Amino acid sequence: MRLFRRPLAEDDFWGLIAVAEGRTDEAAIGRLTDALSARRAKDVVAFQERLARVLFELDREVLADQPVRFGDDPPDEEPIPLSDDGFLYLRAGIVLAGRETYDRVLRDPAVLAQGEWDECEDLLYVAEEVLGDDIDTKVSYETASNLQHWTPRAEPEREPWDQGLRSVSVDAHDMADPIEAERPTADGGWEPEIMYVAPRFLGSSLLYDVSTDLARIVTTNGGLPGELAAGHVVAVVELGESWRLEPQVGEPTRSELGDHRELTVRVAVPTATVRGWTTGERRTGFASLAAACLLAVLPTTHAAVPGLERLRAAGEGLLAGG
């Protein structure tokens, strides 16, 4: 079912938001859920429509570019640029902070560079969970949807070697923050799945840049060998409490994102260690870890091995604790 409705009146919407008392924690979301559950279904849909519009109004490049510090950021680290999702969750946190804060941010974007802020992804789904159905809105709250307030984005030009599916990607999993999700089954149903995403403190460009470095070395030196039985290798760095520098190699599986098989190789390092690295050290360390993952699956005679060995060796000092 796809539902479209007029937005809830502004005063009514902000009155509901006020039950969160300016907080973004589970208890605050629970109070908002209870308040919405007491309303008629059409009001719940109207709430989501109004929420989409206020998030859309906050969707401005000048706000996304502010150096925002969050409550869980280490005090000695500079704020990192916001990813598209990070900016969306920040906007939701601004809404939960209340109407006065929302208006102040719109009047003066520099306010975001002052103090600490909270994210709140959960706000996006409260109404749909109360209704028990998807709610389509007339405007999108996804980042960069408010075209009037964004510079048109140009797709980066890919290098000649970088065409089609990349041979390698590098990912990081925050093992302390599991996400409950669902995945489709062969019979058309759904089954529960636990997922992990990269911690926000790594920044949005680190994994992309390291992936590019590794993919360039492999692709320009002949690509992945056929005997690997996979068209893509994912090097996963698990961030938790312990070290595991010996790569764990999985079995090739069918990718959910395309018609190819991919091979996942995992290593693990303590989150506290990575937090202690500088920005440059993080790139060196992740490149070293990812190179070790690739060296564990490529033939020793592969032309990419010397370049990967250099990357691996460059990070040995950072990984000495493991």
Beta bridge partners of 248: 266
pLDDT of residue 101: 97
How far is it, in rounded angstroms, from Cα 189 to Cα 265? Answer: 28
* 70, 71, 251 from 75: Cα distances, Å: 10, 9, 41
Mention every residue, 6+ apart, whose C-beta is less than 8 A from residue 104.
111
Q: What is the biggest distance separating any 2 CA atoms in the chain, rounded to whole angstroms?
A: 69
DSSP states along 129-155: HHHTS----SS--STT--GGGSPPPPP
| CA atoms within 13 Å, Cβ hemisphere of 183 | 8
pLDDT of residue 167: 93
Beta bridge partners of 169: 234
pLDDT of residue 257: 67
From the list 23, 25, 27, 47, the residue with the least C-alpha distance to 37 is 47
Q: Which residue has the tokens 């970088």?
A: 162
Please give the chain's pLDDT, 322 residues, in tens. Answer: 444 458 999 999 999 999 999 999 999 999 999 999 999 999 999 999 999 999 999 999 999 999 999 987 777 777 888 888 899 999 999 999 999 999 999 999 999 999 899 999 999 999 999 999 889 898 999 999 999 999 987 766 778 888 888 899 999 999 998 887 776 677 777 778 788 888 878 877 899 999 999 999 999 999 999 999 999 999 999 999 999 999 999 998 887 767 788 999 999 999 999 998 988 999 999 999 999 999 999 999 999 999 999 999 999 999 987 7
pLDDT tens-digit profile of 152-170? 877 667 788 888 888 999 9
pLDDT of residue 140: 93
How far is it, in rounded angstroms, from Cα 4 to Cα 122? Answer: 21
